[in-house]
């Protein structure tokens, strides 16, 4: 087991590139296929805190679920947005890389290097 975890979507080029960067450093991360096994609301809330962003900043705004559920509405709370992300994990921006109390988004993939150094 490693102390690096990646919330990964193998169909996403940025996610694949980020995973490759981690593996190039000789690290075999714990891979969570979040579309198959979405995090719980508590887990996602903790991830958002580690990222230092709001729930809204973690949303993939180009997804149809974003439009269908009118998630642009500024009145929606972080808790409500997290609930939508759990129900529709495609809404979660990816990849997310976690090491201990820190996390980064792999957009661009080189962001992961700050966690590995």
**Residues known to be catalytic:** 12
Encoding tokens for residue 111?
A: 């962001």
Tokens of 71: 């998630």
Identify which of 36, 58, 56 has the alpha carbon closest to the alpha carbon of residue 104.
Answer: 58
């Amino acid at each position: 087991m490693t102390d690096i975890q990646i919330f990964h979507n193998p169909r996403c080029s940025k996610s694949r590139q980020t995973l490759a960067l981690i593996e190039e450093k000789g690290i075999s991360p714990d891979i969570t296929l979040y579309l198959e096994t979405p995090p719980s609301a508590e887990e996602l809330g903790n991830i958002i805190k580690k990222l230092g962003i709001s729930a809204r900043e973690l949303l993939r705004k180009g997804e149809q679920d974003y439009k269908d559920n009118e998630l642009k509405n500024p009145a929606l709370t972080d808790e409500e947005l997290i609930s939508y992300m759990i129900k529709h994990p495609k809404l979660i921006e990816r990849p997310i890389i976690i090491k201990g109390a820190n996390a980064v988004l792999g957009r661009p993939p080189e962001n992961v290097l700050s966690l590995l150094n």
